Amino acid sequence: MRSFGTDLPDPCSLALADRVHRSAFTDPRIFDIEMERIYGRLWIYVAHESEIAEPGCYKTTRIGTQPVIVSRTGRGELRVMLNACRHRATTVCQSERGKARHFICPYHGWAYDLEGNLVGVPGRQNQSRNFRESELGLVRLPKVASFRGFIFASFNTAIEPLEDYLGAARQYLDYFVDLAPEGEIEFARAPNKYQYPGNWKQQIENALDGYHPAITHASFFKIVQERMGDPTAPVMQRFGYEASSPTQCRYLGNGHSLLDLRQVDRSQMLGRGVPPGDEQEFRARLKQRLGEEKAGELLSFRGGDGFNLLVYPNLILINVQIRVVFPIAPGRTEVHAYPTLLKGAPDPVNTARIRAHEDFYGPASLGAPDDMEMFARQWDGLQASSMEWLSYERGLDSEVQQGEQRVGQFTDETAHRGMWARWRELMAGEGGRP
């Protein structure tokens, strides 16, 4: 059996073309390197503009394991800064979201404005001669940018522009947002939150895993059959989940990946109905903005219902939902799942989106709890240290290169292999390094 002893493991030896070593999930030293070389260097999704819509609004979140505040300044600019007082590191903001003029540390009272500037120090006269407020603002992330309302930040001053980083993923973010008649989505006020005993990469693999639905979600598909009034309806075939389905799995580059279901008509599958009049109104409004052809294309797969998108490493778009992944420890992960609303859509369309989210993604839903169950059992199995390697070879002989992208059948592991190749690059310090 391999043992790393006290030496740092070589991450590149852990992810090969067709297999991954269990320690890539379990080793705390690997986790620490990930926090530095992945979460510390890439563009990381932090918030949606609708969560901090007005000047003075803020949201607290984490980049990797580091607590941050995302704020909109009085001038409407976006700022992302560490949620840690420059005095003794106490978090200066506790609320998940809100509106404020200052963040005041509750320990010794240091006060910061929405830009992170230190603007107040109690008993200022006793500080040393060298004390400079101007040097003691909250630590600001040097890079902040937003694309279609999705705000990203990076610690890496040398990182490529956000649009280049997103690359081929942009098209799918566009699809997701363009389904809104006003061309903007907004998040519901709060997400489902869940934690599982397991590694963050289990969640992102799961979101790009077209092989598991038939088995993990078997009981869900029985419900779908019941809803269709036909307990023998060939739902797996009809909705694109079979190994022979025309649906695809696609590695987009830069770690970003896609499960693509647009090749099949899934309109009968998900959610509860929208009254016909509201649906017509929705379609009319969309056509008005986008024109017949573009609107028709979007409506044919209903935006995000047509695909699962991973924006590496922590943002997932599925159906109506945005899922954000927070690594806590090698064996502890938190996930926030937000339903999204379409601006300009009739209210019943958005209510149907909320209901669709609850149907599959919440803690009492028909879908996500079975995934969580698999994560927990997978984590148990990953403790089998005598079994070193996990299999990633499905579709290896049949996937094809299409330009910069690699395409396999829906149930293949093409996206997983792409993500692990990217992981290997990043963990070696290539790509994304300043």
Q: Supply the minimum distance, in Å, between the C-beta of residue 121 and other proteins.
A: 33
Q: Supply the minimum distance, in Å, between the C-beta of residue 230 and other proteins.
A: 15
Of 194, 251, 312, 410, the residue at the interface with other proteins (CB under 8 A) is: 194
Instruction: Select 102 or 193, whichever has its Cβ closest to other proteins.
Output: 193
Instruction: Select 196 or 423, whichever has its Cβ closest to other proteins.
Output: 196
Instruction: Print the SS3 string covering the chain.
Output: CCCCCCCCCCHHHCECCCEEECHHHHCHHHHHHHHHHCCCCCCEEEEEHHHHCCCCEEEEEEECCEEEEEEECCCCCEEEEECCCCCCCCCCCCCCEEECCEEECCCCCCEEECCCCEEECCCHHHCCCCCCHHHCCCCECCEEEEECCEEEEECCCCCCCHHHHHHHHHHHHHHHHHCCCCCCEEECCCCEEEEECCCHHHHHHHHCCCCCHHHHCHHHHHHHHHHCCCCCCCHHHHCCCCCCCCCEEEEEECCEEEEECCCCCCCCCCCCCCCHHHHHHHHHHHHHHHHHHHHHHHHHHCHHHHEEEEECCCEEEECCEEEEEEEEECCEEEEEEEEEEECCCCHHHHHHHHHHHHHHCCCCCCCHHHHHHHHHHHHHHHCCCCCCEEECCCCCCCCEEECCEEEEECCCCHHHHHHHHHHHHHHCCCCCCC
Phi first, then psi: give them for residue 227, nearest 5 degrees.
-65, -30
Give the x-and-dash track for 365-404 against other proteins (CB under 8 A): -x--xx-xxx-x----------------------------
Q: Supply the minimum distance, in Å, between the C-beta of residue 366 and other proteins.
A: 6
Instruction: Select 154 or 340, whichever has its Cβ closest to other proteins.
Output: 340
Of 8, 223, 329, 428, the residue at the interface with other proteins (CB under 8 A) is: 223
Instruction: Select 45 or 187, whichever has its Cβ closest to other proteins.
Output: 187
Instruction: Select 164 or 347, whichever has its Cβ closest to other proteins.
Output: 347
Q: Yes or no: say if 322 and 177 are a contact pair by the CB < 8 Å rule.
A: no
Q: Supply the minimum distance, in Å, between the C-beta of residue 206 and other proteins.
A: 13
Give the x-and-dash track for 133-172 against other proteins (CB under 8 A): ----------------------------------------
Residue 329 near other proteins by CB under 8 A: no
Instruction: Select 287 or 355, whichever has its Cβ closest to other proteins.
Output: 355
Q: Supply the minimum distance, in Å, between the C-beta of residue 67 and other proteins.
A: 16
Residue 77 near other proteins by CB under 8 A: no
Instruction: Select 66 or 216, whichever has its Cβ closest to other proteins.
Output: 216
Residue 53 near other proteins by CB under 8 A: no
Q: Yes or no: say if 79 and 115 are a contact pair by the CB < 8 Å rule.
A: yes
Residue 48 near other proteins by CB under 8 A: no
Give the x-and-dash track for 332-371 against other proteins (CB under 8 A): --x----x-x-----x--xx--xx-xx---xxx-x--xx-
Residue 220 near other proteins by CB under 8 A: yes
Instruction: Select 152 or 194, whichever has its Cβ closest to other proteins.
Output: 194
Instruction: Select 90 or 195, whichever has its Cβ closest to other proteins.
Output: 195
Residue 216 near other proteins by CB under 8 A: yes
Binding span for other proteins by CB under 8 A among 11-19, 61-69, 112-120, 213-221 = 213-221
What is the spatial distance between Cα 353 and Cα 270, in angstroms, rounded to a whole number? Answer: 10
What is the spatial distance between Cα 356 and Cα 179, in angstroms, rounded to a whole number? Answer: 16
Instruction: Select 29 or 227, whichever has its Cβ closest to other proteins.
Output: 227
Residue 190 near other proteins by CB under 8 A: yes
What is the spatial distance between Cα 419 and Cα 259, in angstroms, rounded to a whole number? Answer: 13
Instruction: Select 172 or 196, whichever has its Cβ closest to other proteins.
Output: 196
Judged by CB under 8 A, the number of residues near other proteins is 37
Q: Supply the minimum distance, in Å, between the C-beta of residue 337 and other proteins.
A: 9
In 3D space, the residue among 87, 120, 89 whose CA is nearest the CA of residue 102 turns out to be 120
| Residues engaged in binding other proteins (CB under 8 A) | 188-196, 216, 218-220, 222-223, 226-227, 334, 339, 341, 347, 350-351, 354-355, 357-358, 362-364, 366, 369-370, 372-374, 376
